[in-house]
Structure 1
Amino acid sequence: MIDIPSPAIAIVGRHNSGKTTLIERLIAELVGRGLDVGSIKHHSHRAFDIDHPGKDSYRHRAAGASETVIAAPGQVARIKTIEGEEECADLVRSMPGHDIIVVEGYRKSGLATIEVMRAANEADAHTAEVFLRGAREGLPLGADFTQLGRGEDGARTGAVAGTGAEAAGAVDAGVGSAAGSVDASSFAADEREKMPAGSTVAVVTDIPAAREAAALYGIPAFDLDDVAGLADFLGEHYVRPRVTVVIQAGGESRRMGRSKATVPFAGRPLICRLVERLQPVADELIITTNEAENLGFLYEMYPHAGIRLVADIHNERGALPGLYTALQAASNPYVAVVACDMVFASARLVVAEALAMHESGADVVAPSNKHGFEPLHAMYRKEGCLAPVRDRVQRGEKRVQSFFGDPAVTVLPFTQDRVLHVEPRGGCFINANTPEELARIEDSYLGE
C-alpha cells in the first residue's frame, strides 16, 4: 500500500465569522467537482467528546479502554485517549490519499490559511481595520502592528515588533487613519492573536477594508458567496495534481529478440509487474505500444485499473518520440513516464517527484546522478513540456535530454540522495535489454 500525502489548507477566522458555513459549502463544491475531500475540525474545548453516555463505545472507554474503534458498514470511528493535543501536521499525515484536506482552525499549524471576515461580526470589522492600516503603512503581511501610531507631524513613530497577542495592542492609542480609528480594547483577549499572518494566502469577506488590504498585499479576496471562485483558487494552487502514469512498451526489442512487455518474468509477462507496481499511484494508467493486439489481455487481468493502450504517434524509434506520445495522450497535468523494462520501478518515487514538481513549479523532475539524468523514470508537466518536445521531435531529435536545455523549460534534478531517501534499497533504474540481463535480474529477485 502506497500512501499518497494529502495537501491541506486551513480556513480560519474569529468566532461567528462564518467559517463552518463556508467550509460546508466549499466541501460540497469540491466534491461536486469529483474531488476526494478530507476535513479536520479544531476544537479548543478540553471537555469536547464525540461519544455519549449510554452508548456501548462510551461504556468501553469508561471501563478504561485507551482506544476504541466503532465500526459499521460504510463508516468507522476511532476514539483514542492522548496526552496533550495532536499536532495538525500529524493529523494530516494520518489522512493520506485525499485530493485536499480542508482544515477548520489550526491557525498556527504552519499550513497556508484562508482568512474569513464578515461585516456583521464586530471582531471581524475591527480586524479588517487593523489589517488595512498595516497594509497602508507598508508593513509586511503578518506583522504585528505593535505601537502603530503617528506623531503630530504625521511621521511614523511606531515600530513593528512581537507576535501573537500584541497585535491588537498595536492600535490601542486609537489614532485615526484612512481606515478609521481602531481601539484595541474592543478586541476580546482570545481574538488578539487571530489576525491575518504570513501564512494568509486569501481572504473571504464582505468588508471593503479587508478587500482593499488584500489587494495591497497582493492576495486574492473572495465574496462570502463566491464558493465556486474559492474552489477554483484551491484547484489551481492546493488540490493534489492528478498524475498520469505512462509505461512505455513500444514493441519488439532487437536486443531482447522479442517484445519486452510480454517477455516472461517470475512466471508472468514483465508488463504485469510494472502495472501492479505503478497502478496504485496512477490517476490514469496509459501503456504506449505498437502491439496493442498482443497486450489486450491486460484489460481482463486488471479490469479496474482503467488501462489505456495508446499507439505511438511517430513510427521512428527513440525515447523522445515516445515521450511526445505520452504527453499527448495524458489527460492529467503531471505525467510520469517509466520504461517497461525497469523491473524495480518505484511508485514511491513517482509520488515524491509529483510532490517536488508541485512544490517547485518545475516542468521536469528527473532523477540525476554522476552519470546524468534518468529521463525514463521522471515526471513531466504536460503544459510546459508538450510544445518543446514536439519541436525537438520535428527536428529529428531522439534523446529526451535534448529538450532539457530549452530556456522555457525548468528542470529540477532529483538527486541520488533524494532517490535513496524515497527508496533506500535503490535499484529503481535497473533495466533489462537482453535475455541474459533479464535472467540475472530474475535470479536475484527475491520477491521484494
Structure 2
Amino acid sequence: MTLIYTRPSPAVAFVGRHNSGKTTLIEKVIAHLAAQGVDVGSVKHHGHCGFDIDYPGKDSYRHRRAGSHDVVIVAPDLMARVTELDREPECDEVVASMPGHDIVIVEGYRQSGLDTIEVMRSANERDSEAIEEFVDRGTVRGGVPVVVATDSERAAQAARGRGIAAFGLDDVPGIAAYLQERYVRPKVTVAIQAGGESRRMGRSKATVPFLGRPLLERIAMRLAPVADELLITTNEPQNLGFLDDLDLGCPVRLATDVYDVRGALRGICTALSSATYPLVALVACDMVFASPALVYSQARIAQREGVDAVIPRNANGYEPFHALYRVDACLPAAEEALKRGDSRAKDFFGDIRMREFTRDEVKDAAPFGGCFVNVNTPEELAHAEKMIQENGDR
C-alpha cells in the first residue's frame, strides 16, 4: 500500500502588546489573502486559562459537563472541537495539527520559534517601551522580527536601516504581498518523467506492474499530495488511461515529448515547457520511494532563497531527476545547452543559480531514506517489491 503524505502548513506569527492592533491587522491580511485564493488557517493564542465556544443549554455543553474530555461539534459546513488539556501545547504542535493550508497565521506565541511580524502602534502606551528597544537595539523582548508593522516613523527607519522590512499599519496589500513571496506555499507542478526508452527493463517502466499496479500509478499516488498539478511526460499517452481512474486530488495532464530524439536534457525541456506553475519538481517514474517530503522541502528552499534550482547531491553526484527547477531561469538555460550540443541533465547547471541540497538536508526531509532508489531492470524491480513486502513501505 502506498503511504499518503500529509503536507505541512507554513506559518508566521504576528506579535505585539495588548491594543497594538494585532487582531485588526490580522483580520485584514487574512481577508486580503483569502480574496486572492490563498487557503489560510489561523491560530489565536489565549494567554489565560479557560474559554468556551459552547454554552449552557447546548447538547455539547451537556456532554462536557457530564465528563467528556473531548467533544467534537459537527455540522454540514462547520466543525469545532473542545478538548481538556493536561498541558498547554507548543505552537509547533498546534500548527502540525493543521496540515494542508497555504499558510497559517498565528496571533501571539512570541517564543514559538516562528518568524515574527512585530506590530507597534505609537498611540498605544504599552508599545512605547517596545519601540524604544527596537530603535536602540533592533530587538523586541530580545527577539529580532522579520517584519515591523508600525505607524512609528522612528521604528520604521530603524527597521530599514537594519535590513528589516517595514510596513505601515494600513499597508495590508504590502504585508500580504510580502507573505505571498516569503511564506505562502508556492504552487508546484510535479512532473513525472515517463518517456524514457526503458531498454534494460525490456518494456515501459510506466506500465510495468509493481506490487500489482502500474509503477507510474505508485509514483503518482506518492507525489500527488504536494502537487498543484501532476504532469506526466510520456511517449505512450494511449497506454496511461488508468490514471483517469485515480483520485489524486489535483489536475493530471499528459505532455508528449517535444523532441524527435529522446534524452535527459530534452526530457527536462519538455517538462519545463509544459508546466503550468513557475516551480517544477521533476521526478523519474522509476524512483519507487520518491519522496513528497523532499519535494516540499525543495520548494520551500527555492521560495526562501530565491534560487533557480534545488538539486540533491549524494555520493554518486547530482540527482537531477528528484530536483526542483524554476521555469523562467532553467528552461532558457536548458534550451541554450541543447543548442550547444549538450545532452546531459547537468549540462546547464553552471548557467543558473543552483542550490545544492545536501545529504544532511535529504536525511532531515526523508529520514527513512531510499528516495533516490530507481529500478532499471526486472531484477531491481523484483528486489524493490521484496523490500517493501518484507520491511514495509517508506
- The alpha-carbon distance between structure 1 residues 240 and 80, as it changes in their structure 2 partners (threshold 3 A), is same
Amino acid in structure 2 at the alignment position of 1:98? H
Counterpart for residue 427 of structure 1: 370
Amino acid in structure 1 at the alignment position of 2:369? G
Equivalent-residue separation in structure 2 for 1:221 and 1:425 (angstroms): 41
Equivalent-residue separation in structure 1 for 2:70 and 2:229 (angstroms): 38
> CA offsets per residue over residues 306-327 of structure 1, 9 Å max, x none?
1111122333221122112222
> CA offsets per residue over residues 112-161 of structure 1, 9 Å max, x none?
111222344333356435533x1xxxx4x21xxxxxxxxxxxxxxxxxxx
Q: Secondary structure at the match of 2:14?
A: strand
Matches within 5 A, 1:5-44: 5-44=8-47
* Higher mean C-alpha displacement, 35-44 vs 257-266: 257-266
Which one has more relative contact order, counting CA pairs under 8 Å at least 6 apart?
2
Q: Is the Cα–Cα contact under 8 Å of residues 5 and 222 in structure 2 kept in the other structure?
A: no
Counterpart for residue 221 of structure 1: 166
Q: Secondary structure at the match of 1:199?
A: coil
- Following TM superposition, by how much is the alpha carbon of 1:358 offset from its aligned partner in structure 2, in angstroms? 4.3
- Following TM superposition, by how much is the alpha carbon of 1:419 offset from its aligned partner in structure 2, in angstroms? 3.9
- Following TM superposition, by how much is the alpha carbon of 1:101 offset from its aligned partner in structure 2, in angstroms? 0.6
Q: Is the Cα–Cα contact under 8 Å of residues 244 and 335 in structure 1 kept in the other structure?
A: yes
Please report the TM-score for the alignment, with normalisation by the length of structure 1. 0.78
Equivalent-residue separation in structure 1 for 2:150 and 2:211 (angstroms): 60
Equivalent-residue separation in structure 1 for 2:166 and 2:370 (angstroms): 48
- Unaligned runs of at least 5 residues, structure 2: none
- Following TM superposition, by how much is the alpha carbon of 1:103 offset from its aligned partner in structure 2, in angstroms? 0.8
- Following TM superposition, by how much is the alpha carbon of 1:359 offset from its aligned partner in structure 2, in angstroms? 5.1
Q: Which protein shows a greater Rg? A: 1
Give the aligned CA root-mean-square deviation in angstroms.
2.6
Q: Is the Cα–Cα contact under 8 Å of residues 313 and 319 in structure 2 kept in the other structure?
A: yes
Q: In structure 1, which of residues 261, 280, 293 is the aligned counterpart of residue 225 of structure 2?
A: 280
Amino acid in structure 2 at the alignment position of 1:221? A
Equivalent-residue separation in structure 2 for 1:115 and 1:10 (angstroms): 9
Q: In structure 1, which of residues 82, 88, 92 is the aligned counterpart of residue 91 of structure 2?
A: 88
Counterpart for residue 74 of structure 1: 77
> CA offsets per residue over residues 250-275 of structure 1, 9 Å max, x none?
15533334332223334433222221
Equivalent-residue separation in structure 2 for 1:71 and 1:213 (angstroms): 48
Q: Secondary structure at the match of 1:325?
A: helix
Equivalent-residue separation in structure 2 for 1:424 and 1:8 (angstroms): 23
- Following TM superposition, by how much is the alpha carbon of 1:30 offset from its aligned partner in structure 2, in angstroms? 0.8
> CA offsets per residue over residues 418-441 of structure 1, 9 Å max, x none?
545554553333323344543454
Equivalent-residue separation in structure 2 for 1:281 and 1:368 (angstroms): 21
1:100 aligns with 2:103: yes
- Following TM superposition, by how much is the alpha carbon of 1:104 offset from its aligned partner in structure 2, in angstroms? 0.9
Amino acid in structure 2 at the alignment position of 1:391? E
Equivalent-residue separation in structure 2 for 1:62 and 1:384 (angstroms): 61
Amino acid in structure 1 at the alignment position of 2:134? F
> CA offsets per residue over residues 13-37 of structure 1, 9 Å max, x none?
2222221111111111111111111
Q: Is the Cα–Cα contact under 8 Å of residues 182 and 304 in structure 2 kept in the other structure?
A: no
Please report the TM-score for the alignment, with normalisation by the length of structure 2. 0.88
Q: Secondary structure at the match of 2:254?
A: strand
Q: Is the Cα–Cα contact under 8 Å of residues 225 and 249 in structure 2 kept in the other structure?
A: no
Equivalent-residue separation in structure 1 for 2:250 and 2:119 (angstroms): 41
Q: Secondary structure at the match of 2:146?
A: strand
Matches within 5 A, 1:287-366: 287-302=232-247, 304-358=249-303, 361-366=306-311
Larger helix share, 1 or 2: 2
1:46 aligns with 2:49: yes
Equivalent-residue separation in structure 1 for 2:363 and 2:375 (angstroms): 21
Counterpart for residue 114 of structure 1: 117
Equivalent-residue separation in structure 2 for 1:199 and 1:265 (angstroms): 51
- Following TM superposition, by how much is the alpha carbon of 1:374 offset from its aligned partner in structure 2, in angstroms? 2.0
Q: In structure 2, which of residues 123, 130, 147 is the aligned counterpart of residue 202 of structure 1?
A: 147
Equivalent-residue separation in structure 2 for 1:204 and 1:31 (angstroms): 20
Q: Is the Cα–Cα contact under 8 Å of residues 221 and 248 in structure 2 kept in the other structure?
A: no
Percent of matched pairs sharing the same residue? 56
- The alpha-carbon distance between structure 1 residues 366 and 215, as it changes in their structure 2 partners (threshold 3 A), is closer
Q: Is the Cα–Cα contact under 8 Å of residues 7 and 225 in structure 2 kept in the other structure?
A: no
- The alpha-carbon distance between structure 1 residues 364 and 206, as it changes in their structure 2 partners (threshold 3 A), is same
Q: Secondary structure at the match of 2:48?
A: coil
- Following TM superposition, by how much is the alpha carbon of 1:340 offset from its aligned partner in structure 2, in angstroms? 1.4
Equivalent-residue separation in structure 2 for 1:85 and 1:266 (angstroms): 44
Counterpart for residue 170 of structure 1: none
- The alpha-carbon distance between structure 1 residues 15 and 437, as it changes in their structure 2 partners (threshold 3 A), is closer
Matches within 5 A, 1:150-161: none
Pairs aligned (count): 388
Counterpart for residue 410 of structure 1: 354
1:268 aligns with 2:204: no
1:241 aligns with 2:189: no
Q: Secondary structure at the match of 1:221?
A: strand
Equivalent-residue separation in structure 1 for 2:217 and 2:234 (angstroms): 14
- Following TM superposition, by how much is the alpha carbon of 1:76 offset from its aligned partner in structure 2, in angstroms? 2.1
